Each structure stands twice: as structure tokens, then as C-alpha cells.
């Protein structure tokens, strides 16, 4: 048995409403799961057996980025479809085309229009409040995702004296981690440099004591 509550959806009715909307599309639903809850998608059926759920398990206070879409087709009264992306890759943000969706659902009849967007809860056993950090409504992937990430690849520079080495890279490429290795050919030997990172002008900087023997440095951006 599936007991689910609705978080948000598109609504085919406009204007102020005093009751729970009943004709909605691309409903994001939740259900309890071991250790937390799953997110699911309902096109428009309102029937629990037609819900599609992702296997991701989320817990209270998780920050989740969800994108939902409803696609109109004119062939029949049941050929529209809904799609949902759960935490899509940041590398896709701002692009013209969307990555493959997490879920697709075609079960249920078509809705006549999208006139509004609703946040509500249909399960009386659930809290009566829904919190959303931000809601974007648009007609393209780029319009509902953050701007594309900065893809600048920084150059790592080094200056040396008999006692110290100063490594630096541009501040317009944040998020990189400085790593070092004594054997550049060994992929398992790289480790984060445990040094204070300071800023001088438009450069990040790290000062290390110069030691005997070779030491290699690189910048890596964690995924």
C-alpha cells in the first residue's frame, strides 16, 4: 500500500481557490521509505498505483533541487506526459537542452491548460506547511535552472626562494583544492595540502617550506 502526500504541481485553474485543487499535472509526491522518504511523480491520475517513484532516500532537512515539466501533445486525450529531475547535475544548468530525466510518467488524462502553480499537502497526517527556497516557472531548461557554472580552468603558478615556495592561482576560479604528491605517476599518492589559503589581489596563495626532493602540485575540483 502506498500512502503519499503532494508537495507541488501545476494547476489548470486560475484565481484564488479555497479548496484543494483536483485537476493538476506533474504532481510531486512523497512516500515513506526505510530511513527517510522517496520522491515520486504523478502526471494527473491522482491514483497511487500510477505514481512513479525514484529510489533515492532523503531525510528531514535535506536540500533538494527538483525540476518538473508537463508536455502537451495533440494526438489524443491521454498522450501528454510529465517528467521530473531530482538534483540534476550542475554541469547542465543554464543549457538549452535538459539532461535525461529521473522520472517520466504518462499515466492519466491530459489537463487542459497550465494556469497556476500550487504548493499544498493532501495527506491529513502530514504537516500543513510546505517550505520552498525558490520557485522558478519557465518554458525552457535554461529558464528554470541556475546560470551555467563558470568553466574557467585556472593555471597554477609557483615562485621559490631557498626556504619557501609560494603557489598561486586566480580567484575567478573558486572551488579548487590544492594537492601535492612526491610521485606524480602514482594516482593514489595525491593528498590535499594542509595549508592556510590567503588572497592577494586577484590570486589565491599558499606558502610552503621548501624541502629536499621533488614535490609536485596540482589543482583539483571535487565533484
Answer whether 158's CB lies under 8 Å from 147's CB: no
- Terminal C-alpha separation, the chain: 38
Backbone phi, then psi, for 62, in 5-degree steps? -70, 140
- Nearest Cα residue to 102 out of 39, 146, 148, 57: 39
- Alpha-carbon distances of 56 from 30, 33, 40, 52, 106, rounded to whole Å: 11, 9, 10, 12, 21
160-178 pLDDT, tens digit each? 888 899 999 998 877 788 9
- Has residue 212 got a pLDDT over 50? yes
155: pLDDT confidence band, cut at 50, 70 and 90?
very high
Top-confidence residue, 32 or 19? 32
Top-confidence residue, 166 or 213? 166
10: pLDDT confidence band, cut at 50, 70 and 90?
confident
Q: For residue 3, what pLDDT is reported?
A: 43
99-135 pLDDT, tens digit each? 999 999 999 999 988 888 887 665 666 556 667 778 8
65-99 pLDDT, tens digit each? 999 999 999 999 999 999 999 999 888 888 889 99
- Has residue 195 got a pLDDT over 60? yes
Answer whether 58's CB lies under 8 Å from 28's CB: no
Question: 94-108, 142-156, 201-215 — which one is most confidently predicted on average?
Answer: 94-108
Q: For residue 128, what pLDDT is reported?
A: 61
Top-confidence residue, 62 or 77? 77
21-60 pLDDT, tens digit each? 778 889 898 888 999 999 999 999 888 899 999 999 998 8
Q: For residue 1, what pLDDT is reported?
A: 31
Domain ranges of the chain: 4-144, 157-220
Average pLDDT over residues 202-217: 88
Cell of 9: 504541481
Amino acid at each position: 500500500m502506498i500512502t503519499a502526500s503532494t508537495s507541488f504541481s501545476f494547476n489548470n485553474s486560475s484565481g484564488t481557490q479555497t479548496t484543494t485543487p483536483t485537476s493538476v499535472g506533474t504532481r510531486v509526491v512523497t512516500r515513506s521509505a526505510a530511513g527517510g522518504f522517496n520522491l515520486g511523480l504523478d502526471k494527473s491520475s491522482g491514483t497511487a498505483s500510477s505514481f512513479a517513484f525514484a529510489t533515492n532516500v532523503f531525510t528531514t532537512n535535506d536540500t533538494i533541487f527538483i525540476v518538473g515539466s508537463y508536455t502537451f501533445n495533440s494526438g489524443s486525450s491521454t498522450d501528454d506526459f510529465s517528467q521530473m529531475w531530482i538534483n540534476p547535475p550542475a554541469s547542465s544548468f543554464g543549457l538549452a537542452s535538459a539532461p535525461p530525466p529521473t522520472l517520466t510518467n504518462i499515466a492519466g488524462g491530459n489537463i487542459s491548460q497550465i494556469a497556476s502553480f500550487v504548493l499544498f499537502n493532501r495527506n491529513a497526517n502530514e504537516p500543513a506547511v510546505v517550505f520552498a527556497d525558490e520557485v522558478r516557472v519557465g518554458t525552457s531548461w535554461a529558464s528554470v535552472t541556475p546560470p551555467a557554472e563558470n568553466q574557467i580552468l585556472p593555471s597554477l603558478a609557483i615562485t621559490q626562494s631557498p626556504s619557501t615556495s609560494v603557489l598561486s592561482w586566480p580567484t575567478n576560479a573558486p572551488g579548487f583544492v590544492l594537492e601535492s604528491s612526491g610521485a606524480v605517476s602514482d594516482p593514489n599518492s595525491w593528498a590535499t595540502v594542509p595549508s592556510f589559503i590567503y588572497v592577494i589581489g586577484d590570486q589565491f596563495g599558499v606558502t610552503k617550506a621548501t624541502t629536499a626532493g621533488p614535490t609536485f602540485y596540482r589543482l583539483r575540483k571535487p565533484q
